[in-house]
Amino acid sequence: MDKIYAHPKSLRNIQTHYCPGCGHGIAHRIIAEIVDELGIRERVIAVAPVGCAVIAYDYWDFDCSEAAHGRALAVATAIKRVRPENIVFTYQGDGDLAAIGTNETIHAANRGENLTVVFINNAVYGMTGGQMAPTTLLNQKTATTVKGREAGIHGYPLKISEMLALLPGVKYIERVSLHSPQEIIKTKKAIKQAFSNQIEGIGFSLVEVLSPCPTYWGMQPKEALDWIKEVMVKKFPLGRIK
């Protein structure tokens, strides 16, 4: 009989600290499976974010660096330049990548650094207690927009992937989602593409992953998946952006 299931070598078999229904566990596993499948566990160096996934290095079993909030792509730029033979990726949330780290994100992309970026968009700040993120939708209630996000006061949800697609240094951008098994399969395919691009030297590749945060959306896990499918994808349409 063929073995069709195994725990990824790159993922520790331990319980995570994530809330029930959170997307991070799925995203971590997808990355671990890809690292195993591409046979790059001994070459890969991850840059973990500040945010809910701050201790991603406790779950992945390969070399990892911390980065200050927003600075993951500056740290990753240097690691990749120093060690071009290694496979370097950042794992960043919306606050990290599209608010405090916007500058580092845009300029690493614009330099065309040969990096892989996994961008987790859950439209909220999780670690700090559910405050507004740059990607929070209009009318979405958060800890700092208790009556809902208003364009005139808080600005619009930032579509940073579309912005980055304008840069000639960027080679691949796709937006995917974790709201169903089918979409999870597509997510894995896209992230694998982003890793393969780096291996082949193609250049800056980013995958934006719409990910549920039931805790700070005030929903049951199933409701959160439905909210992505019915509400979030209307503002953040899925598919290849570049």
Binding residues vs another protein (CB under 8 A): 41-45, 47, 54-55, 57, 60-68, 71, 74-79, 81-83, 86, 103-104, 106-107
Residue 188 identity = K
Nearer to another protein, 102 or 193 (CB): 102
Q: How far is the CB of 17 from another protein (least distance, A)?
A: 9
Cβ atoms of residues 21 and 221 within 8 Å: yes
Q: Output the CA–CA distances (angstroms, integers) from residue 212 to 181, 215, 238, in the order listed.
A: 14, 9, 15
| Residue 55 C-beta: closest distance to another protein, Å | 7
Nearer CB in complex with another protein: 12/154: 12
Strands 239-240, 170-177: pairing kind: antiparallel
3-state class (DSSP) for residue 63: strand
Closer of 6 and 82 to another protein (Cβ): 82
- The answer for 27, left when phi > 0, alpha when psi is -120 to 50, beta otherwise, is alpha
Nearer to another protein, 75 or 158 (CB): 75
Distance of closest approach, residue 57 Cβ to another protein, in angstroms: 5
Least distance from C-beta 189 to another protein, angstroms? 25
Is 164 strand, coil or helix?
helix
